[in-house]
Structures are given as C-alpha cells and as structure tokens.
Amino acid sequence: MTDFQPLPEHRFTFGLWTIGNVGRDPFGLPTRDPIDPVDIVHVLAEVGAYGVNYHDNDLVPIDATLAEERAIVERFRKALAETGVKMPMATTNTFSDPIFKDGAFTSNDARVRAYAMQKVIRTMDIAVELGAETFVFWGGREGTETDASKSAADAVKRMRDAINFFCEYALSQKYNLRFAMEAKPNEPRSDLYLPTTGAMLGFIATLDHPEMVGVNPEVAHEHMAGLNFMHAIAQAWEAGKLFHIDLNDQLFGRYDQDFRFGSAMIKQNFFLVKFLEDVGYAGCKHFDAHAYRTEDLDGVKDFARGCMRSYLILKDKAARFNADAEIQGLLREINAFDGGFDYLKGGFSQDALEKLRAHEFDRAAIARRGLKYERLDQLTFEIITGVR
C-alpha cells in the first residue's frame, strides 16, 4: 500500500499554462489572476511535481526584446535550479496571435508560414538551453472553417515541409530533442488537419526523419472524437512513437474541457494507467488540464494534487488487477487457445499455407464457447470501486 505521494520518478509535469490558467472561457472573463512563471515553478515544487512545460509566450511575451527575453529566461532558470523542478518539454504558441488566424505552417500566406517557423526555431534554442528533451507541436490553428479556402492536401504538404525543416535544424545544431505531434479533431478551428493520433502516426511515416518524430496524444482530444484513448496510446506505443502524453479528462463529444485527470471517465482512465504501467512507459506524464473556473489558487493546488493522486490510485488498482488470482485465472482460461497454430507464427510459407488449407475447423464448437467477459468486467469494476 502506498500513500499516493508523487515522487520525481513518476515524472509528473504541468504546463505553465495549466497551473497558470486564469479561468477565461468563450463566454466569461478570467476568474483568477495570472501567476508569474517563477511562482508557478514554486507551486509545482510545493505540490510535488517533477517538472514544468511551457510555450514560448507563457514565459516570454511575444513582443519582448532580446534583452528582455534573456532576463526572463535567466530568472526562470534560477527558479528551476532553486526548486529542482525540471523543464523537460517545450512548445511554441502558433495559435494565439491574430497572425495565426488562418493557420501557422499551413497558412496560405507564405509570410505567416515563415514567421511561424522562425518562432519555432527561437523557442527550440531556448528550450534546449533550459534542458528540454521533448518539443511538442500542437497545431491549434492548422485547419479551416471553410474548405473553399485551401487545399487540404497542400496543407499536409506544408506541414511536412515545416517539420522536415525543424528536424534538419535540430540535427544541424546537434540538439538532443525529440519532436512530438499532438492531434486534436477541432477547436479552435472548425476542423483541424491530422485530427487524431492515428492520423499523426500516418503523417510521421512520410517525413524525412520519422525516427525523430513521435506523438503527444491527449486524453481530451481523442475523447472529443469519441475514440478509445488507450487504443490510440497502445498503437503509438507499439510503433515506438509514444514520446510524451497529455493526461486530463472529459466525457465524449464535448468541447475541449481539459478537466482534472480522473474526474470524468474512471474506467477508461484505469485501463489507460494500467496500459502505461504494464508496458513500463517511462516518459513524462504531463497533466494538460486546468482547475475549474470556480477555483482560487488553493483550488488550483487541489486540482494539481488531484491529478497526480488519481494517477497513483489507478496505478495501485492496476497492480491489484494484475495480482488478483480470480482475474488472472480467468485471463488464463480466456487465452487457453493462444498457443495453437504455431506454424502461423513464422509468417507466410508454402508449408504453413498447406497446413492452413488442410485444417478442418469445428466452427460451431469454437463459436459456442463462452468467454467470461461479463465476470471479468464485473471484477474489474469491483477492483476500481474498492470492493475487491
């Protein structure tokens, strides 16, 4: 049994924009005051997080001079050193400023595309200086309201050109950085390009340096599309592409709510945590979420502690699932026939083909077999709810 205290080895991180979220929404003004990035670092140290992530403009205002930028970065670096909070992931804001109203890398305007690329390169330089290992791309404006405006195929090509350029830049500078692409189906654009983690994985395979690029899937973004997040994570993991993860929560089909991890879909969260723990995912677990608009700074701390505690509670539940004799017995029974047909495991051969052709299946008998998933799922529920 554990006391569910976050430890550095859990690699729990929060973005400056998550703790610093002021509670603005499309219908309402901020409900909290902005927090200085240095104070956010101290809040994260207080709640026991491992690290902080940031967008360039969470830290340095978009119109800061180079001298101002230097001073801000140095002050931030000092706060990291003082607290021991790490800065493992950075990203570029290519969505807030009006210049990005019709996209950044996919804009029809070459000036906008070039400006976005310059902004990324500047962010990358500082991020590396602060110790970043992962650089995220979330294309919040890379999409359309009307498809009369541009070719969707050109948009993908432009996106590819930009990412290829950044890979070459990182190689030319000998930066030890991995890129992680984050998909989202819509919001703030009506439709975003490359809308799911699966779409991102397909895109990455077409890059010049696919080995440098993976994904940063976010729970809420796949839930907005009604998809099973754990399945997306499993596909990314199996492909060696799970470079980072954005944990939060919300029900299917809603806007991007970015709720506290564990707050909405507990069973899905359980299978997600179980997957990450079973495979030994060792990357950062970033809570890309924010406190309800109702909260003050104490509520923000409750939110941050809640994200980490819920993860650790579900990790404990996953260990109970794995140690439960009845569940493991059922799983053995369910997989009892997994050992057959060994000759198919080596892939195609003339010999395998002939054996397969000649085999007579008792189709009806195989189909009649009960699979015990009702019992298994009930036991899972009882583990999660603490009855077992």
Residues forming the active site: 55, 58
Among 182, 185, 189, 192, binds ligand GLT (CB under 6 A): 182
> DSSP assignment of 137-157, as one string?
EE-TT-EES-TTSS-HHHHHH
Residue 30 CB neighbours (<10 A): 12
- Comparing every residue's Cβ against ligand GLT, the nearest one is 138
Q: Tell me the C-alpha to C-alpha distance, in Å, between residue 66 and each of 63, 69, 74, 91.
A: 9, 5, 12, 19
Per CB under 6 A, does 183 bind ligand GLT? no
Among 58, 102, 218, 249, binds ligand GLT (CB under 6 A): 218
- H or E segment to which residue 298 belongs: helix 297-323
The interface region with Mn ion, picked from 9-17, 88-96, 253-261, 267-275 by CB under 5 A, is: 253-261
Q: Which is nearer to ligand GLT, 49 or 136 (CB)?
A: 136
Among 56, 102, 222, 288, binds Mn ion (CB under 5 A): 288
Q: Which of Mn ion, ligand GLT, none does residue 222 bind to, with CB < 5 to 8 Å depending on kind?
A: none
Within 13 Å and on the Cβ side, how many CA atoms surround 174? 0
Q: Which of Mn ion, ligand GLT, none does residue 136 bind to, with CB < 5 to 8 Å depending on kind?
A: ligand GLT
Per CB under 5 A, does 102 bind Mn ion? no
Contact 218, 246 (CB under 8 A): yes
Closest CA to 236 of 268, 194, 204, 209: 204
Residue 276 CB neighbours (<10 A): 24
Q: Residue 166 is encoded by which pair of tokens?
A: 């950044």
Closest CA to 308 of 22, 89, 91, 46: 46
Closest CA to 290 of 280, 282, 279, 301: 301
Contact pattern from residue 85 through residue 104 relative to ligand GLT, giving x for each residue in contact according to CB under 6 A and a dash for the rest: ------x-------------
The CB-of-184 to Mn ion minimum distance in angstroms stands at: 7
Per CB under 6 A, does 159 bind ligand GLT? no
Find the binding residues for ligand GLT in span 6-25 (CB under 6 A): 17
Mapping DSSP to helix (H, G, I), strand (E, B) and coil, where does residue 293 land?
coil
For 202-229, what is the HEC assignment?
Answer: HHHCCCCCHHHEEECCEHHHHHHCCCCH
Per CB under 6 A, does 222 bind ligand GLT? no
Find the binding residues for Mn ion in span 255-274 (CB under 5 A): 256, 258
Among 16, 104, 127, 136, binds ligand GLT (CB under 6 A): 136
The interface region with Mn ion, picked from 119-127, 217-225, 259-267, 332-340 by CB under 5 A, is: 217-225
Q: Which residues contact ligand GLT (rule: CB under 6 A)?
A: 17, 55, 91, 136, 138, 182, 218, 246, 256, 288
Q: Which residues contact Mn ion (rule: CB under 5 A)?
A: 218, 220, 246, 256, 258, 288
